[in-house]
Amino acid sequence: MSLLYTIAAKLRKQPKLKRLLKNVYQYIGQIASDRETSPASIKCVSNTKYEHLFGYYDKSPWNKNGDRIIYLRVKNASKVTASDIPAEIIIKDVMTEIETSIATTRSWNVQQGCMLQWLGPDFETKIIFNDFRRGKYCAVIFSINTKEERIIDAPVYSVSQDGKLALTLDFSRLHTLRPGYGYMNVHDSTKDQKCPKSPCIWAIDLVTNRVIPLLTYKQLFDFEHKDSMNRAFHKVNHIMINPSGTRFMFLHRWIKNGVKYDRLLTCKMDGKDMYNLLDEDMVSHCNWKDDNTIITYAHTYEFGDHYYILHDKSSKREVDKNLPDVDGHPSYSPNGKYIITDSYPNFRRKQRLYLYDIQTQLCKQIAEVYSSKPYINDTRCDLHPRWKRDSSEICFDGAQGKYRQVYTLKISNW
């Protein structure tokens, strides 16, 4: 592990000091940086006159055929989220390079956008995204061909691959406790409550438009309770449904005196059969490999901070020593041959993309992306690499220039 990440790990329980030192470090690094990005084959697919982003790393912006790509155009990405600034939903024809604005949303943030994604099972004719309409959060299913909309009575966080089910959380509370990941259109009614009695995760039937509470904060508080949970603020984040739609994982987080604690939980889609998969203070970013296997960057008391391979409903954990020991956003390629992940900016404000060949067990750095100084702290621009559906290309958000943009990089040469 690098000296930087060793220091960051030790400062985890001193958040104010960590933030101060981080800002000083970034300021000096900005001056020292050559401000270059490589390789030259990185392509900016969005219009550089405006700010653009797609969102998170567990979704693909490409349709199934790979001839269209979707992303957001925003007027101001210097705010973590904005209820008064609409974001345009852009669809681009890859062959003609024509961008078309097809809709707008008022519920978006700089880290995860508006949960914009192609809707299964065909990933071709419809998209789904979150919005704020008639004084409420909602999701919109938009038909690309007919331009028809169908309103779902709750925003989505994770959507099953068959397009029938979704899970969601309290986006207003998430904004309060984690700026840049929630929405601020509606006042957070639980703002002053440390462990609300209200639901924290809901299931959404996208066919019937039925919304069903699954779990409450109190249930999480009581489940395998730890003393550090007492008098702490509780939240959930990073819900991900497994490929077949039978179980989901999520992070239960609590904050006490500025110190954050994480654990990774899984359960059935009805909220039952909950399992505490990893609970050793820090769990960062995760993703499903298959219905039972999860990759995560996390901390364990035995091995420290690494990428781990976990097995659902099992205490078995494996350290993947072939991946870099830096926190990133990992995902498996659709063909199962690769893992892509990234890093946060180093001293010279460079973020890196790493490609891991599972068969050869070789990990290569395939890109180094400069991140300009305005994009720091809660408004930072994480790369969030995500896959094209044929595994030939990746897409990522970047801020190497004046504006945040959407980029692609072919991996065929790697």
Whether residue 210 contacts residue 199, with contact meaning beta carbons closer than 8 Å, is answered with no
The total of structural domains in the chain comes to 1
Q: Interior CA angle at 379 toward 6 and 104, to 5°?
A: 140
Look at residue 78 and give its three-state secondary structure. coil
The CATH number given to whatever domain includes residue 337 is 2.130.10.10
Q: Interior CA angle at 160 toward 163 and 145, to 5°?
A: 25
What pLDDT score was predicted for residue 85?
Answer: 85
Structure tokens at 126: 């419809």
> Cα separations (Å) of 122 from 60, 65, 139?
13, 10, 19
With 0-12 CB in 10 A as exposed, 13-18 as middle and 19+ as buried, what is 134?
exposed
Q: Identity (one letter) of the amino acid at 85?
A: I
What does each of the 414 residues of the chain score in pLDDT, given as a tens digit?
455 555 665 666 666 676 666 656 555 655 566 778 889 999 999 999 999 999 999 999 999 999 999 999 998 776 666 667 899 999 999 999 999 999 999 999 999 999 999 999 999 999 999 999 999 999 999 999 999 999 999 999 999 999 999 999 999 999 999 998 999 999 999 999 999 999 999 999 999 999 999 999 999 999 999 999 999 999 999 999 999 999 999 999 999 999 999 999 999 999 999 999 999 999 999 999 999 999 999 999 999 999 999 999 999 999 988 999 999 999 999 999 999 999 999 888 899 999 999 999 999 999 999 988 667 788 899 999 999 999 999 999 999 988 999 999 999 766
- Determine the structural domain holding residue 374 and report its residue range: 3-410
Helix (H) or strand (E) holding 171: helix 171-177
What pLDDT score was predicted for residue 1?
Answer: 47
CA atoms within 13 A on the CB side of 381: 28
What pLDDT score was predicted for residue 36?
Answer: 83
Whether residue 281 contacts residue 311, with contact meaning beta carbons closer than 8 Å, is answered with no
Separation of alpha carbons 394 and 73, rounded Å: 19
Whether the model clears a pTM of 0.75, i.e. scores above it, the answer is yes
Separation of alpha carbons 20 and 188, rounded Å: 28
First to last CA, the chain: 25
